[in-house]
Structure formats: C-alpha cells, structure tokens
C-alpha cells in the first residue's frame, strides 16, 4: 500500500483573532530566556521525498501497520503514505485519514490559556490555587509552572500504563472527572519543588483543562471550537470526550503489547478520558499543519504571549520545552516548533518552522514501540533539512538521532 503526491495550492489562509494584548511577563527569570532559536524558511533545504518515503517504510518494517506524512511548504504540498489504516480490511492509509493526536492536544490547551492571558483573565505567574482554591498541595505552583512541566506534579499515567495493554483495557471505556485524575497524581509526593526542574507530566495539562473551564464557564470542547477549530477552519479536528468513535475516514490505532511477538491490539475506540485536555483531540495532517503554521505566524495570540510560549526550559541537548510547545534542534542546525503525541495506537510528530512557512505532520498507527517512535522523528530531518541532512547525520552519528525511548504517556517508563 503505497501512495505519494506533490502539488501546489493556495497558501494557508491567515485567520486573525481579535484579542486584547497585555504586556509580556518579565523574561529575566524565565528558563532558557537567553537562547533564541531562529531560522527562516528560506534557509531550509527542499523537502526530501525519497528520505520521507524511506522513513515510512522503515516504520512499517519495525511493526507499524501504516505511516504517513504531509509537508505544507509555502503553498506546495508533499503527501506520502505507506501501509494500511485498517488491518482487517486492508484499506490503505492516506494523509486524509483522521487520527488521535495525543499530546499535541497540549499545544491547543496552551493556546486557549494564553488567549485568556491576553484577555486579562489569567496571569502566568499567579499560583494555580488562586484560580482553583485548594486544588494543589503547594501554593507556590504557578500557571507557568504547570504549562512548562515544572510544577513537580506526579504523572499518574506512569502507574496507569506501567503494563501497556492491561492498563489500556482498564481505562478504554472509563470516564474520569478532572478531579479524579488530579487525585491519582496526588497519591504521590511532588517530584521536585515548584519551578526547580522540568519533569513531563500529563497532570499539568489536566490542570490546564480545569483552568480553562473555571475561567470561561464552558467545557474545553466549546473553547477549542470557538477559539481554534472554527476560526482556523479545522474541519477534521474535534474533541469528542467521552465519546469513543472517530468520525469520518480515519486510521485505526494498533497498540503493541509488552510481550514480544504478541498480536497488536486495535485501540481505536476509547474515551481517552484518562487524558482529556492533555491528549484527547482528533485531527488530520492537514489540520495540524494549519494549526502550527497559524501559531508560529502569530494568528492565535498576541506577540507578547507567543514570546512567552517560547521561553525554553532545557529538556536535552537538542530539545527545549516552552508553554505547551516543544522545540527540536535538527542535525542541519534548524530548530522547529510543535509537539509530539502518543495515545494508544498512534505516534504523531507535528512541527513548523520558526516563520510558519513550512509545517510537517507525520503519523504511525502504532505505539509502545520505541523503534518506530525513533524512526518517525526522521520525518522532521527529511522534511526540514532535506537531502543535506543525510551527510550531516552520517558525520555526527549516532548522536544526531537519539533514541526516543520515552513516550508522552507514562513518561517515566522506558519502551523497548
């Protein structure tokens, strides 16, 4: 099952939201404020379609039923896919298929919160307990700490999914409240003092969802639709919690069991109630590219808040985390901005250039497979660095493409 195309079309429409700008927070104490990663799309190598195809085929060889990638490059669209969307029917996967985006949802939640900052309803450096009295065990935990994964709140998914398939089946149809999920986290002590260290935790963006609902008086689904999905014309994108179905043509997800050689588990139908505002959005490659292009070109918030979103905390030598936004530094010296996503049966990479002129989303319809997770990161190299990245990777191997052993769910559990 192979497909691919390159075509030209109308550049992504500029959709401007009417927001009230407020002064930026002082950056002097912000983590990573001394580093500014910047690259113009004009300096990017042309997308390497052969390299992209090779990445997708490698993912299939490593156990993914299907894999796909879409590159939007200033009006030119590259679309490639390999394998199947549905193992039962054999239907080929295509870039038009919808899928569960996992933690890419965090970027949407962060956008809503930063819009609320622009509207004067939220302050990044105010304690969360000011808005949600008594919720958290430490009054020093601020909104900024939560959005940058520096709160110290334990990630309850480490316990929930320590055993991959049994953990998933125990929550596949379950409906949690936000409070339920916070309570699971608070069974554990804080992992660090507020603000002291980066520690990725889904609990943070559960709290983000609670803040959205408290400050707007609406469900997160309504705020996503009114503030992002609708204005940007994201017609493939939805938040259906606690519904279990993906509407329209979609890729099925296949969860890899922990036991080597065990049959893949079709994980498509689920509530994703264990994640909600941390990971339950459904979308497509086109819509995610539209979203991140709009984000990086300043269409979703004031310049002041976009700058706050890009105050980086160091994650590794090649990665930083802002406010619901990842930065990845590629082998050719280019930095790209977006988010990764894992939800049972789906791995997503969705990133854009600094100027938003090139955006890339890739998907493999499996998870709990570190080889596939690492391989799919290669779509960023081929899409943003082009053919030149091959020589760069050879010269700097093996560090140019570090292993991706930790997912966005159960982030403390190493995957094989």
Active-site amino acid positions? 103
Q: Residue 347: enclosing H or E segment and its boundaries?
A: strand 346-352
Compute how many other C-beta atoms are within 10 angstroms of the C-beta atom of residue 165: 19
| Distance between CA atoms of residues 74 and 187, nearest Å | 48
Burial of 352 (0-12, 13-18, 19+ CB in 10 A): buried
Nearest to 269 by CA among 286, 290, 245: 245
* C-alpha dihedral sign at 277, 191, 322, 122: positive
CA distances in angstroms from 292 to 320, 352, 394, listed in the order given: 17, 6, 30
Widest CA span in the chain: 56
| Distance between CA atoms of residues 239 and 85, nearest Å | 21
Is residue 103 within 8 Å of 339, Cβ to Cβ?
Answer: yes
User: Which letter, b or e, does each residue of 8-30 get, where b requires 16 or more Cβ atoms within 10 Å of its Cβ?
Assistant: eeeebeeeebebeeeebbeeeeb
And the tokens for 5? 């195309």
Starting at the edge strand that comes first in sequence, how are the strands of the sheet with 254-255 ordered?
265-266, 254-255, 366-367
Angle between helices 105-118 and 202-216 (to 10 degrees): 40
Nearest to 50 by CA among 395, 360, 390: 390
* C-alpha dihedral sign at 286, 289, 294, 300: positive
* C-alpha dihedral sign at 227, 145, 314, 36: positive
Which DSSP letter does residue 302 get?
-
And the tokens for 66? 């299907």
CA distances in angstroms from 137 to 95, 140, 153, 199, 204, listed in the order given: 44, 9, 9, 17, 13
């Amino acid at each position: 099952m192979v497909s691919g195309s390159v075509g030209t079309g109308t550049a992504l429409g500029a959709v401007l939201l009417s927001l009230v700008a407020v002064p930026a927070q002082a950056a002097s104490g912000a983590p990573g404020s001394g580093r500014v990663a910047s690259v113009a799309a004009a300096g990017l190598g042309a997308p390497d379609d052969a390299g992209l195809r090779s990445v997708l085929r490698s993912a299939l060889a490593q156990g993914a039923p299907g894999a796909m990638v879409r590159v939007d490059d200033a009006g030119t669209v590259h679309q490639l896919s390999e394998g199947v969307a549905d193992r039962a029917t054999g239907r080929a996967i295509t870039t038009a298929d919808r899928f569960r985006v996992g933690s890419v949802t965090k970027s949407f939640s962060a956008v809503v919160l930063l819009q609320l900052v622009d509207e004067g309803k939220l302050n990044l450096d105010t304690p969360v307990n000011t808005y949600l009295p008594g919720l958290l065990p430490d009054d020093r935990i601020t909104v900024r700490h939560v959005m940058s994964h520096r709160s110290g709140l334990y990630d309850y998914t480490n316990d929930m999914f320590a055993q991959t398939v049994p953990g998933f089946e125990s929550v596949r149809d379950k409906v949690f409240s936000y409070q339920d999920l916070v309570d699971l986290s608070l069974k554990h002590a804080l992992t660090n003092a507020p603000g002291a260290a980066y520690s990725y935790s889904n609990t943070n963006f559960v709290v983000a969802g609670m803040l959205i609902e408290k400050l707007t008086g609406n469900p997160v689904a309504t705020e996503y639709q009114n503030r992002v999905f609708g204005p940007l014309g994201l017609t493939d994108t939805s938040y259906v919690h606690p519904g279990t179905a993906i509407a329209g043509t979609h890729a099925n997800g296949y969860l890899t069991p922990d036991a080597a050689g065990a049959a893949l588990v079709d994980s498509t139908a689920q509530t994703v109630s264990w994640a909600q505002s941390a990971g339950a959005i459904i979308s497509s490659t086109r819509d995610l590219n539209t979203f991140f292009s709009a984000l990086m070109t300043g269409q979703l918030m004031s310049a002041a808040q976009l700058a706050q979103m890009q105050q980086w905390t160091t994650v590794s030598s090649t990665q930083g985390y802002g406010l619901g936004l990842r930065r990845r530094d590629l082998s050719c010296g280019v930095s790209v901005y977006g988010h990764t996503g894992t939800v049972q049966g789906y791995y997503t990479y969705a990133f854009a250039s600094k100027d938003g002129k090139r955006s890339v989303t890739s998907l493999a319809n499996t998870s709990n497979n570190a080889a596939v997770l690492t391989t799919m990161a290669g779509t960023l190299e081929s899409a943003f660095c082009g053919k030149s990245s091959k020589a760069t990777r050879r010269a700097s191997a093996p560090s140019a493409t570090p292993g991706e052993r930790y997912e966005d769910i159960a982030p403390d559990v190493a995957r094989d």
